[in-house]
Amino acid sequence: MRRQGASTRRRLVMSVGCVIVTIMSRPAFAAPLKLLVLGDSLTAGFGLPHEDGFQARLTAALHAQGIEVTIVDGSVSGDTSAGGLARLDWVLSDGADAAIVELGANDGLRGLPVEEMERNLTTILDKLDAKRVKVLLSGMYPPPNFGEDYTLEFRAVFDRLSHRPGILYDPFFLEGVALEPSLIQPDGLHPNAEGVARIVARLLPLVVRLLGEARPT
Cβ atoms 155, 118 nearer than 8 A: no
Inform me whether the pLDDT recorded for 27 exceeds 80: no
| Average pLDDT of span 198-204 | 98
187 included as an active-site residue: yes
Helix residue ranges per DSSP H, the chain: 2-25, 41-44, 54-64, 81-91, 105-109, 114-130, 148-161, 193-214
Nearest partner of 174 among 186, 188, 191, judged by Cα? 191
Inform me whether the pLDDT recorded for 115 exceeds 70: yes
- Looking at per-residue pLDDT, the higher value among 31 and 121 belongs to 121
Cα 57 from Cα 158, distance rounded (Å): 25
pLDDT band at 22 (very low <50, low <70, confident <90, very high): very low
| Average pLDDT of span 138-160 | 96
Cα 4 from Cα 108, distance rounded (Å): 85
| Average pLDDT of span 170-186 | 97
Angle at 61 between CA 55 and CA 65, to 5 degrees: 140
190 included as an active-site residue: yes
Which pLDDT score, from 0 to 100, does residue 215 have?
Answer: 80
pLDDT band at 9 (very low <50, low <70, confident <90, very high): very low
41 included as an active-site residue: yes
Inform me whether the pLDDT recorded for 206 exceeds 70: yes
**Active-site residue, from 93, 149, 182, 187:** 187
The domains of the chain are located at: 31-214
Inform me whether the pLDDT recorded for 19 exceeds 80: no
Inform me whether the pLDDT recorded for 162 exceeds 80: yes
**Active-site residue, from 40, 41, 79, 170:** 41
Which pLDDT score, from 0 to 100, does residue 144 have?
Answer: 92
The architecture that CATH gives domain 31-214 is 3-Layer(aba) Sandwich (3.40)
Contacts of 72 (CB under 8 A, 6+ apart): 34, 35, 36, 37, 91, 92, 94, 96
Average predicted confidence (pLDDT) for the chain: 89
Inform me whether the pLDDT recorded for 217 exceeds 90: no
Condensed to tens digits (0 to 9), the pLDDT of residues 36-88 reads: 999 999 999 999 999 999 999 999 999 999 999 999 999 999 999 999 999 99
- Looking at per-residue pLDDT, the higher value among 191 and 24 belongs to 191
Cα 204 from Cα 187, distance rounded (Å): 26
**Active-site residue, from 107, 138, 170, 190:** 190
String of b and e for 126-148 (b: at least 16 CB within 10 Å)?
Answer: eebeeeebbbbbbbbbbeeebee
